[in-house]
Amino acid sequence: MHITTEPRSPVISDEEGCGAEGERCRNSQHRHGAATSETAHGGGLLDWEAERFQRATEALGLDAAVTCVLHCAARSVEVEIPLERDDGSLEVFTGYRVQHSMALGPAKGGIRYHPDVDAAEVTALARLMTWKTALADLPFGGAKGGVPCDPAKLSTRELRDLTHHYTVGMLPVIGPDTDVLAPDLGTNSAVMGWVLRAATEAGRGDLRLVTGKPPILGGTAFRAKATGVGVAHVADLAYRHLGETLEDARVAVEGFGSVGRWAAVELVDRGATIVSVGDVTGAVHAEAGLDLRGLIEWIDRGHRLAEFPGADTLDTSALTVPCDIVIPAAMEGTLDQDVATRLSARLVVEGANGPTTPDAEATLADKGVAVVPDIVANAGGVISSYYEWVQNHQRMSWPEADERDRVLQRLETTWNLIAGTSAGEWRIQAVAIAIGRVIDAMTAAGMLLPESVGAPS
């Protein structure tokens, strides 16, 4: 195991901080500078997050040294995972876990299995989790983990063993009051059940260690739907804020996993029409609206979305069809400059983490397109995870409807924090509020001294 920790000094001086824009802090994890045109994962996302963070800290007038403390990860961990494949061969994978901040409580964040996982991507996503949990006023910090692998190319036994080794390798740094795991891209409730089992076999079993579990193991029925339903709820709130209603609103969704699917179902239930859906196999479009239930059944029977017989096939992004609202719910960077140029919608609601590149966001702003940022739009998942964690702590189980109501109410409270600003400032306002809350916690705990922070209290 390789662990890198960043000590928090109670006294901050300029020598410990970062320099001007485009330079690096003394900590190599802290990357500054304008975003690049890169649309790949990892480094691109790290640059995009850093650029937006810098804009927020400049708006707050923070000292450069304080911004370094806020941005650097508290701990970064890598473990080597030897996996015996079904054919008897041995393959070694690398597992990552970055705990960005624990100022407000235990670190919180998912585990993703995807070929593009790397240290840079995990670091960027951990930072986003810090801002997301702080903005939603949850008693959590931010973390993220993952393994660069293609789960579609691993058998169930191989995935289970990979998860077991990852969990055991990370046990020294995770725990119900230290770092709480959850599902993410390429993982699900079954994987979370394996995480809990691995920890239990190692003598560290605690239901609060992981959220997004199967209900029979202490999970909640609403958790799997929470992110997508929350995205739809925020879309409803934001569209009403723009003077419109979802009744007959035309919506395009990119990404049809758990988030995209449940967002689409909830939007239809609220009166919207889904006109386009895309995933890794391609995209489909129906001018009069897709048969969403039929599409879901088609995919659940093992067919490719792009071959759905009830719609026309698109040779471009699902987000570029004429519509009112778009939901990018796939990978980071999917709403790039090319898509932004061709996008006709009035509202973007980010279902994925980091789906909109900075260049694309600037283009959308010029076109008058409002963008609800990821740390607001998709916070329903971590809010639901918090309520699962609370129920596990209390040894209680709430009715699904009660948890849904609590999640949507907290999402509405979070949305209201940015609704009063102009649409072009929603993202920076959200990040700035989150930063302010983290600063308040660090100052109250003596991790920062009041005189070192020229920030809001």
Q: Is 399 exposed, middle or buried (0-12, 13-18, 19+ CB in 10 A)?
A: exposed
- Are 201 and 192 within 8 A, CB to CB? no
Rounded to whole angstroms, the Cα distance separating 16 from 68 reads 8
Residue with token string 């994925």: 352
Residue with token string 């971590």: 382
Contact partners, residue 29, CB within 8 Å, separation at least 6: 4, 6, 72, 73, 76, 123
From residue 443, how far is each of 10, 103, 446, 447 by CA, in Å? 9, 9, 5, 6
Question: Which ranges of 242-379 does DSSP label H, i.e. alpha helix?
Answer: 258-269, 292-300, 337-342, 358-366, 374-377
Instruction: From the candidates 144, 213, 225, 367, give the one annotated as an active-site residue.
Output: 144
Catalytic residue at 144? yes
Of 121, 132, 147, the C-alpha closest to 31 is 121
Q: Which two tokens stand for residue 313?
A: 């096939």
Residue with token string 């939007």: 267
How many CB atoms neighbour CB 87 within 10 A?
Answer: 5
Q: Which two tokens stand for residue 457?
A: 């209290």
Of 386, 392, 399, 380, the C-alpha closest to 217 is 392
Of 21, 39, 22, 34, the C-alpha closest to 360 is 39
Catalytically active residues are 144
